[in-house]
Amino acid sequence: MNSRVGHLLAAALRLTPEERSALAAALIDSLESTDQALIPEAWRKELLRRRAALAAGQVSAVPWAEARARLAAQ
């Protein structure tokens, strides 16, 4: 990761979970005009499904520190 990407990532991680979800979906959407082989269709669909579930209030986001702790405990 170069310093420009690192800077953008640091800024993005300061966003709320909802804002990060919207940003992730927008970035995925922006790749649609590029080589589709870069993003498997199943992964794109999953991201869109998760964004919709979050927006609809069907699921709630957790802070990254909590998610990381849950993953580490597995």
> In order along the chain (74 residues), what is the average pLDDT of each group of 10 residues?
85 90 83 65 85 90 84 85
Whole-number pLDDT of residue 32: 66
Asked if 64 and 13 count as a contact pair (C-beta separation under 8 A), the reply is: yes
Look up residue 29 and give its two tokens: 């959407």
Q: What is the pLDDT of residue 15?
A: 92
Question: For position 2, what pLDDT does the model report?
Answer: 84
Instruction: Kindly state the tokens that stand for 31.
Output: 């790749």
Q: How far apart are CA 16 and CA 19, in angstroms?
A: 5
* pLDDT score at 29: 77
In terms of phi and psi (left: phi > 0; alpha: psi -120 to 50; beta: otherwise), the region of 57 is left
The per-residue pLDDT for 42 is 81
Domain boundaries along the sequence of the chain:
16-73
Contacts 24+ apart (CB under 8 A), 41-50: 50/21
What pLDDT does residue 65 have? 84
